[in-house]
Copies of this chain bind each other. A is one copy, B any other.
Amino acid sequence: MREKWVVGVDLGGTTTKLAFINVEGEIIEKWEIETDHSDAGKNITANIAKSIDQKLKEQGETKDKLIGVGMGSPGPVNYKAGILYNAVNLPWEDHYPLKKNLEEAIHLPALIDNDANCAALGEMWKGAGNGAKDLVCVTLGTGVGGGVITNGKIVQGVSGAAGEIGHITVIPDGGAPCNCGKTGCLETVASATGIVRLANLKLKEEGLAEGLLVKIYEENGSITAKDVFDCAKLGDAACLEIIDEVAFYLGLVLANLGNTLNPEKIVLGGGVSKAGDILLDKVQSYFDKYAFSRVKDTTKISIATLGNDAGVIGAGWLVMNEQFQ
């Protein structure tokens, strides 16, 4: 039998990533297109279909090469119905029939899931998860996203809101406001934005007067999460305190996820996960403190290995899973 491919699509508010992926999960070709917000997003699925047709032609292939299209989208998704409930960074109306529209545009079977879930599936299939059937992925980026896999399947929950790990409450009283409307969510302390917020608190409310962070702030007029990690590596006391705080909340949440699910791996991805040992050693030490003994001994914390490719690979896996299991 001629080797077939799947298409993995990672839909973003600004750009959409696409890839042809073979049945082994290897990327044959990947590319990006702009996400067109005009006309209430009417062109998005058509553009994806056109772009796939064009790339197929360039590869000297025809549509029967493709098994189907899997797509990760921001926002909560009804996987079975193929409906995107709502996505704040996309121009579509709520309860958008994304699967149906995608299938009509591209004339291939399509499956959609939440983008964080797809990243988790990608890491399970080809990344740090390494085939683990019980896996939790936590993406520490601008926000904090999550994907939970149990018994080899994504946990969707009753309304697609499973895996909202960024909205686990870690500061029950007096926490900072979160975009979700609550306060004290993990996202308010462990995302890049949250780390900047903690740094600004030190600078502005606690009146931090000396040290590397102050210097950078005076030079640049602002602070990034990377600045905080860089300064901590140089021994800056205030930054080490911030990192300890971030690691405490993150370690506590990961331990409690471990106590609930005892996954084989907890995979950390996103920009903040690249901080390296200065963050991860502390996260591990708080995890060890708060995890049930058998969980501490068996649930491993790993760093995501697929980077930006996790989304398209996991989206491709949606199609593989539907076809070959």
In the complex, the chain B residue whose C-beta lies closest to that of A251 is B172
Is A2 interfacial (CB-CB < 8 Å)?
no
Q: B151 near A295 (CB under 8 angstroms)?
A: no
CB pair B151–A294 under 8 Å, yes or no, is no
Q: Taking the complex as formed, is A112 at the interface, i.e. its CB lies under 8 A from any CB of chain B?
A: no
Question: Which residues of chain B are near A182, meaning CB under 8 Å?
Answer: 289-290, 292-293
Given contacts A168-B259, A169-B252, A252-B172, contact A151 B153 (CB under 8 A): yes
CB distance from A108 to the nearest CB of B (A): 26
Chain B nearest CB from A185 CB (Å) reads 8
A148 touches B260 (CB 8 A): yes
Choose the segment among A36-44, A54-62, A154-162 that binds chain B (4+ C-beta atoms closer than 8 Å): A154-162
Query: Given known contacts A164-B295, A252-B169, is B290 in contact with A157 (CB within 8 Å)?
Result: no
User: Are B252 and A158 interface neighbours, CB within 8 A?
Assistant: no
CB distance from A290 to the nearest CB of B (A): 4
A262-B162, A263-B158 as given contacts; A76 in contact with B294, CB under 8 Å: yes
A125 at the interface (CB under 8 A from B): no
Please, what's the 1-or-0 string for A92-125, where 1 marks a CB less than 8 Å from any CB in chain B? Answer: 0000000000000000000000000000000000
A168: chain B residues at CB < 8 Å are 256, 259-260
Q: Confirm or deny: A299 has a beta carbon within 8 angstroms of a beta carbon on chain B.
A: yes
A157 touches B256 (CB 8 A): no
Taking the complex as formed, is A165 at the interface, i.e. its CB lies under 8 A from any CB of chain B? yes
Pick the most buried of A158, A263, A299: most chain B CB atoms within 10 A of its CB: A158
Cα distance A151–B150 when bound, in Å? 9
* Residue pair B290, A159 in contact (C-beta under 8 Å): no
Q: Are B148 and A261 in contact (CB under 8 A)?
A: yes
| Residues on B with beta carbons closer than 8 Å to the beta carbon of A158 | 132, 134, 262-264, 298-299
CB of A181 closer than 8 Å to a CB of B: yes
Q: Is the CB of A256 within 8 A of B169?
A: yes
Which residues of B are found within 8 Å of A293, using beta-carbon distances? 180-182
In the complex, what residue of chain B is closest to A253 when comparing beta carbons? B256
Q: How far is the CB of A286 from chain B (nearest CB, A)?
A: 8
What residue of chain B has the Cβ atom nearest to residue A249's Cβ?
Answer: B172
Within 8 A of B (CB), among A240-299: 248, 252, 255-257, 259-264, 289-290, 292-295, 297-299
Closest-CB distance, A296 to chain B (whole angstroms): 9
A257 CB contacts on chain B under 8 angstroms: 260
Interface residue A163 (Cβ < 8 Å from any Cβ of B): yes
* A17 CB-CB contact with B under 8 Å: no
Is the CB–CB distance between A165 and B252 below 8 Å?
Answer: no
B157 touches A262 (CB 8 A): yes
Question: Which residues of the other chain, B, contact A146 by a CB distance below 8 angstroms?
Answer: 260
List, in ascending order, chain B residues with CB within 8 A of A264's CB.
158
24 interchain pairs (CB within 8 A)? A132-B158, A150-B153, A151-B155, A157-B261, A157-B298, A157-B299, A158-B263, A159-B262, A159-B298, A160-B294, A161-B298, A162-B261, A164-B262, A164-B295, A167-B259, A168-B256, A168-B259, A169-B252, A169-B290, A172-B290, A181-B293, A182-B289, A182-B290, A260-B260
